[in-house]
Amino acid sequence: MTAYAPSLPADLVERWDIQSAELIADTRTSLVHRVIRRDGSGAISKQLKPEGLHELSGVDFLDWRQGSGSVRVLDRVETACLLEDAGTLMLKDYRLAHGEDAANDIILSVLAELHLASADTPTDSLVPLRSHFRPVFDRASREDRPELSAALTYSACIADDLLSSQTDIRPLHGDLHHENIVSGSERGWLAIDPQGLLGDPAYDVANVFGNPDGAFTDIIDPRRIIRLVDLFAPAIGCTREKILRYAIAHAGLSICWSLEGGDRISGEGNAMERFAFLNVARRMLEEPAVSL
């Protein structure tokens, strides 16, 4: 007997030959199901809501990668897609069991696959980094809380400088972190849920600094920040200072997204964590004793 969630349209059930489906995420931007098809294979169905249409560039990025470092797109229909099921083990959980160094090795491995050259021409739907950073430029210009205004203005200035001097511009995942790297299939660790951006590859590691979620003590630890800088600079092929500057720029952007979603700087949410990281990283960048 066929069993599937009511939120999965009948036409998709028929097109993708779905026998059963489990709703695993219902967010502001999408509905995500883990499905079993009639041939016994598993997959992930993702339906974008109106608020999530910006994620189409991420699907285009996956299409372009064709499984190199990321899940494969099996089929797509307008704003819905059928994706390879990468598994259920998130790098966030693996890190808890095996430690920071083991998790970082996996990030480097996935990053290398994502940045491998492709003979295929990238889609022109990828979002340029300057457009991606628009929220921090806009909010920094109108924020009236002095301490937050200072942090966002600093982040926006760094972002503007970085974006004006990008090198090796290429397609980027754009949202690489411990919950978007997953394992459990025979293909090992794979990236999911990309933003689908176009820009300097140094940005692709910026979000790692503010993750995993809930690891606040580690996130603001200067020793961890330096370790990540030391790992990512040679992997990307750029200076250590550039890696840290992109992390600071992204922290400001992440604060803006969180505030738009109703988060506050006070409390224990993402905005507070990124605000604290930004201030620690700024001191490190400006501290003469820290050689970058």
- Please say if 175 is a catalytic residue: yes
Phi (first) and psi of residue 264, to 5 degrees: -130, 155
Catalytic residue among 60, 175, 193, 200: 175
d(CA 34, CA 136): 35
Residue from 183, 165, 195 nearest 91 by CA: 183
Strands 197-199 and 170-172: antiparallel
Is there a contact between 174 and 196 (Cβ–Cβ < 8 Å)?
yes
Is there a contact between 32 and 13 (Cβ–Cβ < 8 Å)?
no
Phi (first) and psi of residue 27, to 5 degrees: -110, 180
Residue 74: CB partners within 8 Å, gap ≥ 6?
A: 16, 43, 81, 82, 83, 84
Return the structure tokens found at 16: 């993708």
d(CA 34, CA 21): 6
CA atoms within 13 A on the CB side of 118: 20
Residue 5: CB partners within 8 Å, gap ≥ 6?
A: 21, 22, 23, 33
Catalytic residues: 175
